[in-house]
Structure 1
């Protein structure tokens, strides 16, 4: 195994479909990973629409998949090249690029009795050609093959980055979906799972009412009132009552799912407030499921960390928790997920497991990902 610091890049494009996040990370065996540089490559509107269509299509042609994958790969390559140029690094200055790809559908339980699967659009061979970098990709399917959910994968990185023997910590990622990781100070095994939607429904409802791509700082939600009847109906969704391991995505929570719960008489701002409360309540329920009423430091990452209204609701729902953003540990909230895939690439090249069976439900630890030479 390596005994010195090496540099890796990580790429992440989440369910918000707003761009590719690229993070440059310094990693050494006996210290926490260090964030060196970042770059966000915005997603063109045409590609956003292509990918969104694929996520919700009943039938898809191979030509559609290939076209979207190639466009997405070129977007990734621009993100990598810009990241390295801004840092003054050549392609051989990084050990590898860890690529998550773009999730199109995630079905760890299968559909209608079919096999379990998870589909991320990615072309690591082309990415290696376009960037001149070694690429590590296809992280999820090895865990799935071992009987796991293939998600969430970030908890292993959270453990490496944030564990502290002096306090209980919960890491909360508020991306399109919310997932939590419990890092107990007393040696209890790290645990985590997806709690449900975070920004995906909030963004979709904003876009449906032509209020922009997202609810800036949660102002629209803050202007409305929670509809308790609607909230109760939304929380009746069976996913919220499944024991872990569990993970979810756009295949379950989307605009049509929300609309089927609406009468049509609701005020749009009240629906937005109710969606924010849905996220806060489902996150709080998940945290209590993991660690009861223990006092914890709640470290928030992801785009939802910038939503003041949502963070206020979380604070109200979790009075035993002290809320902080990941910035205090040198990791701005937007960059933890991309950093995780840089770290997973490091784990793959060093033949180290990247999953946590207690989180995903896999039969055991597995080395994740395939390696593609430039």
Structure 2
């Protein structure tokens, strides 16, 4: 098993930019690996690209030309982000990309397919490094949901902690990983920031893409009727493993929900904040956790975190920064870990978290500037992940 520096790239369901994270990963022996965060950042999409991505979401009709253009332009944006990442945090051995999810096809509770944009050839051409991409499709082909892949990081990172412990990601879609039971369990709980972002865009006539700092929600009051109606969505009662996305909890969903409800912008944001807090807390409390460790963009929303703390009651709520893993960069570091596992011939999914028939090697590899030379496959699985003290870019170089 080789040690290497990996750059992780992704854009979440919020479509608010490209997350970049560089990690040093190395085996320590006896099934233990170490992840040292080097640095992370977020870069906005080029002007107009986010709006085109949002416009391509269901129920919109997307023709082949626009699909090709978006796949190419997201790939070029990811390539530029990778170049910026190596300029800021130092050179890397390989790049891993989760791309930009455009559509997650689920029917009758089963994932049938998944589409991520961001042609990896552009990243390989720009960096000269091998690129591991298309990391979800193999899990779906094996009967899984292809999400949440965060289960592999969470299961390794929280192994050995008093449990049950829950890792919570408050991205566009919220997901949890439950560690400490017979086997790890992970699933999407429902909307995280997705409906909040759609509502902020709606009530500000496009001036805001999110309720930055939760200020709109803090100025409003929860509408009990709308909250009750939205909590009745069948998704919340379907059993895990399960996954969802903006094809369900997106702008069209929000427009239909408020079609016959008259309320102010702040009241709408307050209600949607409570919806996210309620559905996340209900999912967490069903597993009787001792601690919930949160990450993702939602942890920077004080209104959401306050509502979630109130709903969790006596259950401890911590932010992943407190345990050494930067909350803003966690998904980027997850992507780097997934790439490193594939590079070393190790599965990147946890069947109990995605529903796949078994462990699978994930992704497809695009060679870099030179011939592709993979290391010898690992002789033992990784069972625990230690998060090491972060390095500065200068130390890392």
TM-score computed with the length of structure 1 as normaliser: 0.92
Distance 2:342 2:280 in 1: 31
Question: What count of residue pairs does the alignment treat as equivalent?
Answer: 361
Encode CA deviations 1:234-282: one digit per residue, 9 max, x unaligned.
Answer: 0111111100011100100112212322223223222211100100110
Q: How far, CA to CA, are the matches of 1:100 and 1:145 in structure 2?
A: 17
Relative distance call for 1:367 and 1:27 in structure 2 (3 A) is same
Over residues 320-370 of structure 1, what are the superposed CA-to-partner deviations in whole Å (9 max), with x where a residue is unaligned? 321111111222211011111110011101111111111111111111111
TM-superposed deviation, 1:169: 1.8
Partner of 2:249: 253
Equivalent residue number for residue 202 of structure 1:
196
CA RMSD, Structure 1 to Structure 2 (Å) = 1.8
Q: Which runs of 5+ in 2 are unaligned?
A: 369-397
Say whether the 8 Å CA contact 2:82–2:123 is kept in structure 1. Answer: no
- Do 1:41 and 1:75's aligned partners in 2 also have CA atoms closer than 8 Å? no
2:69 to 48, 63, 67: 67
The residue number in structure 1 matching 2:161 is: 165
TM superposition shift of 1:82:
1.2
* More helix by percentage: 1
Counterparts of 1:277-292 in structure 2, within 5 Å, are: 277-289=274-286, 291-292=287-288
Q: 1:46 aligned to 2:48?
A: yes
Q: Which has the higher contact order (CA 8 A, sep 6+)?
A: 2
From 216, 234, 240, the counterpart of 2:236 = 240
Matches within 5 A, 1:94-105: 94-105=92-103
2-structure distance, mates of 1:227, 1:124: 45
Conserved? CA contact 1:106–1:249, under 8 Å = yes
Deviations 1:110-158 (A, max 9, x none): 79x9x81111112112321122110001111101111111111011011
Aligned to 1:231: 227
The answer to whether 1:175 aligns with 2:177 is no
**Deviation of the 1:298 alpha carbon:** 1.3
Alignment partners' CA distance in 2, 1:165 and 1:16: 31
> Aligned in 2, Cα 1:99/1:88: closer, same or farther, shift over 3 Å?
closer
CA shift at 1:57, angstroms?
Answer: 4.9
Contact 1:108 1:144 in 2 (8 A): no
Preserved contact between residue 110 and residue 116 of structure 1 (Cα < 8 Å): no
1:124 pairs, out of 95, 100, 120, with 120
Unaligned stretches of 5+ residues in structure 1: none
| Corresponding residue to 1:56 among 55, 58, 71 | 58
Residue number in structure 2 paired with 1:12: 10
Deviating more after overlay: 210-219 vs 360-369: 210-219
Cα 1:270–1:121 change in 2 (3 A) is same
Q: Deviations over 1:165-196 (max 9, x none)?
A: 33432111001110011121xx5311111000
Contact 1:32 1:160 in 2 (8 A): no
State how far apart, in whole Å, the 1-side matches of 2:312 and 2:153 are. 24
DSSP 3-state at the match of 1:108: strand
CA shift in 2, pair 1:135/1:271, >3 Å: same
2:302 to 296, 304, 308: 308
Q: What's 1:270 paired with?
A: 267
CA distance in 2, matches of 1:57, 1:254: 10
2:356 alignment partner, one of 353, 356, 362: 362
Q: What is the distance in 1 between the residues matched to 2:12 and 2:84?
A: 19
2:346 counterpart residue number? 352
